[in-house]
């Protein structure tokens, strides 16, 4: 959510008028994040988030935007993309959700109410676990398919790129864990895991609460078709760890898993492979943070995340799996 592309009020106003959202009142760049250009935008009709996509292509983006529309229509609180008026058709009843601004693919979505809970309690974790399970079930009949673009093939491509930037102990851990995850992915138990559209990046700052109540999930631009268990592991690695140390928080994790399983009970293979997927989730974000930290792009307000956090999480997950 850094600003890579500067958007003027005049340029944003043209899109606002085309979408019939009333006259624009305010345009403000959003701090944080490292993938896309994002602005808060206020009009006569309300508050929205304008996103210009810096890496994703016009061919990839319909999967994300129509997924958000699908989930919103199935009662999951997510930002709903704004369609161009009059663009719906029999082949595309949602209408045109992808627009162009400053020569970049762009989208306009509703802004969720509330704020992020950066120090979650077990009650917050339970609310996210329950909604995550509801989201997985709601997406079962989503007709579009696109792989998780930051899944195992990307890890295999990216680890050699970041290895020159880390020390020998880190290189050893990256290589050994990548080999372990390739081994897991080739097994019959992994092939049997239930899968569908997942969020794949549902961290604390991508969920909103208001007066203690969960008001929505957002930032679906890492979504893809993958195992539901991987999505669950990504969440547990953020919502249910101690941020300074990366250590597992058993109380929060139990609340999260209990609430999730209350909506969608885990299969036996999922329970067996959860430790491996917790390691996979930690590896995925350690790799991406190393990549963003050591090979950054130019952007206003860009601040890469600390890669060391997910190295610590991964080391804890490996020790857990070994019973240490």
Residue 3 lies in a domain: no
SS3 content of the chain, % helix, strand, coil (to 5): 45, 15, 40
CATH number of the structural domain spanning residue 264: 3.90.1200.10
Residue 117 lies in a domain: no
State residue 303's pLDDT score: 63
How far out from the chain centre does Cα 277 lie? 16
> How far apart are alpha carbons 104 and 229 in whole angstroms?
34
> How far apart are alpha carbons 298 and 28 in whole angstroms?
19
Residue 178 lies in a domain: yes
Domain's final residue, options 90, 110, 130: 110
Range of the domain at 60: 9-110
Look at residue 175 and give its three-state secondary structure: helix
CA count, 13 A, side-chain hemisphere, 18:
18
Residue 4 lies in a domain: no
**Are residues 214 and 104 part of one domain?**
no
State residue 31's pLDDT score: 75
**Are residues 129 and 275 part of one domain?**
yes
**Are residues 203 and 256 part of one domain?**
yes
**Are residues 198 and 85 part of one domain?**
no
Residue 115 lies in a domain: no
> How far apart are alpha carbons 44 and 261 in whole angstroms?
42
Question: Which of 292, 286, 293 has the alpha carbon at shortest distance from 309?
Answer: 286
Decide: residue 212, CB within 10 A, 0-12 exposed, 13-18 middle, 19+ buried.
exposed
Strands annotated E in the chain: 24-29, 37-43, 46-52, 99-101, 104-110, 195-198, 207-210, 213-217, 224-227
Look at residue 75 and give its three-state secondary structure: coil
**Are residues 222 and 245 part of one domain?**
yes
Q: Which two tokens stand for residue 144?
A: 């579009």
**Are residues 217 and 173 part of one domain?**
yes
State residue 1's pLDDT score: 41
Strand partners, 37: 52
Residue 1 lies in a domain: no
Residue 189 lies in a domain: yes
**Are residues 161 and 272 part of one domain?**
yes
Hey, CA dihedral for 48, 52, 55, 58, is it positive or negative? positive
**Tally of domains in the chain:** 2
**Are residues 248 and 140 part of one domain?**
yes
Residue 2 lies in a domain: no
Q: What is the DSSP letter of 44?
A: T
Question: Which of 117, 109, 114, 118 has the alpha carbon at shortest distance from 40?
Answer: 109
Domain's final residue, options 87, 110, 133: 110
CATH number of the structural domain spanning residue 43: 3.30.200.20
**Are residues 281 and 237 part of one domain?**
yes
**Are residues 65 and 210 part of one domain?**
no
Give the orientation angle of helix 61-73 with respect to helix 122-138, to 10 degrees.
110
**Are residues 245 and 317 part of one domain?**
yes
Question: Which of 138, 197, 178, 183 has the alpha carbon at shortest distance from 273?
Answer: 183
Name residues whose C-beta falls within 8 Å of residue 188's C-beta, 6 or more positions apart in sequence.
none
State residue 304's pLDDT score: 72
State residue 301's pLDDT score: 44
> How far apart are alpha carbons 30 and 111 in whole angstroms?
12
State residue 173's pLDDT score: 98
Q: Model pTM? A: 0.93
Domain's final residue, options 110, 137, 165: 110
State residue 300's pLDDT score: 44
**Distances 120 to 13, 227, 263 between C-alpha atoms, Å:** 37, 25, 21
pLDDT digit of tens for each residue in the chain (324 aa)? Answer: 456 899 999 999 999 999 999 999 999 998 765 689 999 999 999 999 999 999 899 999 999 999 999 999 999 999 999 999 999 999 999 999 999 999 999 999 999 999 999 999 999 999 999 999 999 999 999 999 999 999 999 999 999 999 999 999 999 999 999 999 999 999 999 999 999 999 999 999 999 999 999 999 999 999 999 999 999 999 999 999 999 999 999 999 999 999 999 999 999 999 999 999 999 999 999 999 999 999 886 544 456 788 999 999 999 999 998 776
Q: Which two tokens stand for residue 263?
A: 């909506």
Question: Which of 188, 195, 178 has the alpha carbon at shortest distance from 282?
Answer: 178
**Are residues 14 and 81 part of one domain?**
yes
């Amino acid at each position: 959510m850094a600003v890579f592309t500067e958007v003027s009020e005049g340029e944003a106003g043209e899109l606002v008028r085309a979408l019939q959202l009333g006259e624009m009142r305010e345009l403000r760049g959003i701090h944080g994040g490292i993938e896309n250009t994002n602005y808060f935008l206020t009009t006569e009709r309300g508050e929205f988030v304008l996103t210009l996509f810096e890496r994703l292509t016009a061919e990839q983006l319909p999967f994300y935007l129509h997924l958000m529309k699908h989930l919103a229509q199935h009662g999951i609180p997510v930002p709903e993309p704004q369609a161009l008026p009059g663009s719906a058709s029999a082949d595309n009843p949602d209408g045109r959700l992808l627009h162009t601004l400053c020569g970049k693919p762009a989208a306009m979505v509703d802004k969720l109410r509330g704020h992020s809970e950066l120090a979650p309690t077990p009650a917050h974790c339970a609310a996210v676990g329950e909604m995550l399970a509801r989201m997985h079930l709601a997406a079962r009949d989503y007709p579009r398919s696109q792989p998780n673009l930051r899944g195992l093939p990307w890890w295999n491509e990216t680890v050699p790129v970041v290895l020159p930037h880390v020390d020998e102990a880190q290189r050893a851990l990256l290589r050994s864990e990548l080999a372990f995850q390739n081994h897991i992915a080739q097994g019959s138990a992994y092939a049997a895991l239930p899968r569908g559209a997942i969020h794949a990046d549902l961290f604390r700052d991508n969920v909103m609460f208001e007066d203690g109540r969960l008001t929505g999930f957002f930032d679906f631009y890492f979504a893809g078709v993958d195992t539901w268990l991987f999505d669950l592991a990504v969440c547990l690695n953020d919502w249910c760890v101690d941020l300074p140390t990366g250590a597992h928080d058993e109380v929060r994790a139990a609340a999260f898993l209990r609430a999730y399983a209350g909506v969608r009970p885990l299969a036996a293979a999922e329970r067996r492979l959860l430790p491996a997927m917790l390691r996979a989730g930690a590896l995925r974000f350690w790799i991406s943070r190393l990549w963003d930290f050591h090979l950054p792009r130019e952007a206003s307000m860009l601040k890469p995340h600390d890669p060391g956090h997910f190295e610590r999480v991964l080391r804890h997950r490996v020790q857990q799996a070994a019973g240490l």
